[in-house]
Amino acid sequence: MSTTPRESVRAAFKAVLDAATIRVISGGTGTLTTLAPTIYDRLPFEGADVRSVVLGIVSGTSRSPGVGMQGTRKDATGRAVMDLYRLQVDCNYDDKEGCSQLADAVEQTLWNAHDTLRDTYDIHGLQKLLDVDALPLGASLRIPVLTREARVIQDYTFWTHRQLAT
């Protein structure tokens, strides 16, 4: 029997972001403010809160380093192959400046959690592929959160193990 890491990956990134203290600099006053943005492991049907982080997409990539039964040992009791994944993180906030600060704080949180992601959650080689500021208003009409002006999208790649039956 094989297992899929998809849901454990969502849970891992959500746990790391839930545990973080995310701070932004308040506009005008210049004071440091601690936020508690809502962290979603997927976009809710009704849309996301204004101040939120959404783990939008978790997908495997087309390049797999393991073919058939080739792969690496994950532990002494079984075999596993490396699975490459991509994660989209959407940061939403009231205004563009706050959104940019939230996105920077989320990125820093993920970099700071590198050892935790590796040692606790078996997530390796985290890399940011893309960091895109807000889409133009009306760029996508299918989900209301996508039409927000204050939005930053980040795409990350990483690899984890898929356990194989022995």
Look at residue 57 and tell me if it is in a domain.
yes
Q: CATH code at 21?
A: 3.30.70
> How confident is residue 109, by pLDDT bands cut at 50, 70 and 90?
very high
Nearest-5° angle of CA 19, CA 54, CA 153?
115
Number of domains in the chain: 1
> How confident is residue 34, by pLDDT bands cut at 50, 70 and 90?
confident
- At 85 the pLDDT is 87
- At 15 the pLDDT is 93
Containing structural domain, residue 102: 6-164
Q: Are 65 and 157 in contact (CB under 8 A)?
A: no
Residues 6+ apart with CB under 8 A from 86: 57, 58, 59, 60, 61, 129, 155, 156, 157
Look at residue 1 and tell me if it is in a domain.
no
Token output for 131:
């960091």
Look at residue 135 and tell me if it is in a domain.
yes
- At 68 the pLDDT is 47
CA distance 93 to 101: 9
Q: Which of 87, 93, 82 is nearest to 53 (CA)?
A: 93
Look at residue 122 and tell me if it is in a domain.
yes
pTM over 0.85: no
